[in-house]
Structure 1
């Protein structure tokens, strides 16, 4: 009887060991399945979700006039804020520069999606350190690196802002066709200045402008786009409420809406 009991005890421990092993296998398999299901599959080059970006933030920076010291400080803080707070994970950001010759700045300087920094992830189910490093090295740093390309050393004779917004519409929003969460952030004094039309003459009547041949050529489509203007106050006497009304009417005609206006320091 004693020998039989020992055999039963051995069998009992063998069963327990088998159950334990099964539980380990199930746990590992479940974790693998969880990671597979919850993995954030993204494009290796653009860092965008494989199924497409979740939104589109276009940043247009006017570099037809140099920034003074204070303006540059404010711009650097703004750029950091846009990168780290204004672009949600999974959204695409496209950065354009406005130069005197809009044909040379027709394409974005950089386009990349925010891969997320891991701050919303569980360290037990995600490699938070890897996500944070990827965010810093492949998203934040490349965007900050174009800062020098967004600034001028000398003032330009012309500022073709209307032409550039058309190109932003074509090569930014329309090129990607992202329907949701479309935002346009402009850093500029918003004083369009070309031989065909100059705001330095105090002409701010959009209704009258839109009826001219040049005004009809400058029509643009920005359906559903939220517009944020960061005014560089180079000419405060010209940058009046009437001046802002021109742009509100312009964007409204384009199907967009100005949702924020913020004068920059300096």
Structure 2
């Protein structure tokens, strides 16, 4: 009986040891899994992008060929704040261009960095939330919101080369970065092209005639997979008709993009 009792006691101790070992291993696996999911993403110090590459790409093109009135400036400033705080997700690259009369002078972005993320959802267990928030404010949010100062035009420009700027945006951002994630183009403009070769101020634009013309073929671009959002500056309502908007829908469609939102701006 004593031998049986001792054997049973030893067996129970072994089972208890095995159970404790299993619990320890499961706890360790859980901790490793949690850390793998929540550990801070390594970022490039210059671009603020994940070292593995941006998760997506937002490009903003701001038409600066006409003066913005007071209300339009306020709406644009709020749009920039929303862009930094809510629109561009963490890990996505943001590139901002200004459309000027001479597109050769505005071919490169005024700002180009990733959203490094805020302290929201970050834990002191594996990161420094205060430092993360300070970096977001200093290197991303503040530079983005200060871009409202680019709107310094005091009188209308003689030219508005929108087609050429769209080509440069495609070449220097979407094609250059070749990011595999979602791609979005946000445009602030009245979308009224005015160049020596083509002007929407001379009458309603016919897309079929434009697309087959030498200038139309020269200025067509590639924006494959890009979603386009237009903040429509209603500077010339008589010219900004449904037909004009259809022209741009077809232009983007031919470029491989899709115009998914048109929002008339206040002012």
| Counterparts of residues 64-213 of structure 1 (less than 5 Å) | 64-213=65-214
- Alignment size in residue pairs: 239
CA-CA distance at 1:129 after TM superposition = 1.4
Higher mean alpha-carbon deviation, 115-124 vs 66-75, is at 115-124
Aligned residue in 1 for 2:9: none
The secondary structure found in structure 1 opposite 2:160 is coil
CA-CA distance at 1:37 after TM superposition = 8.0
The secondary structure found in structure 2 opposite 1:197 is coil
Higher mean alpha-carbon deviation, 225-234 vs 198-207, is at 198-207
CA spacing shift, 1:202–1:165, aligned 2, 3 Å: same
The secondary structure found in structure 1 opposite 2:74 is helix
Structure 2's unaligned 5+ residue stretches are 1-23
How many angstroms apart in 1 are the aligned matches of 2:35 and 2:65? 51
1:155-189 deviation digits (Å, cap 9, x = unpaired): 10110000100000001111111122100000000
Aligned residue in 1 for 2:46: 45
| Mapped contact 1:35–1:125 kept (Cα < 8 A) | no
The secondary structure found in structure 2 opposite 1:94 is strand
How many angstroms apart in 1 are the aligned matches of 2:37 and 2:81? 33
How many angstroms apart in 2 are the aligned matches of 1:36 and 1:179? 22
| Mapped contact 2:185–2:228 kept (Cα < 8 A) | yes
Aligned residue in 2 for 1:250: 251
CA-CA distance at 1:251 after TM superposition = 0.1
The secondary structure found in structure 1 opposite 2:237 is coil
CA RMSD of aligned residues (A): 2.1
How many angstroms apart in 2 are the aligned matches of 1:111 and 1:129? 24
CA spacing shift, 1:35–1:211, aligned 2, 3 Å: closer
CA spacing shift, 1:179–1:202, aligned 2, 3 Å: farther
| Mapped contact 1:89–1:113 kept (Cα < 8 A) | yes
Aligned residue in 2 for 1:219: 220
How many angstroms apart in 2 are the aligned matches of 1:98 and 1:121? 38
TM-score (norm 1): 0.85
CA-CA distance at 1:120 after TM superposition = 2.6
| Mapped contact 2:185–2:229 kept (Cα < 8 A) | yes
Aligned residue in 1 for 2:16: none
Aligned residue in 1 for 2:20: none
1:88-120 deviation digits (Å, cap 9, x = unpaired): 000000000000000000111110000001213
How many angstroms apart in 2 are the aligned matches of 1:261 and 1:126? 40
TM-score (norm 2): 0.85
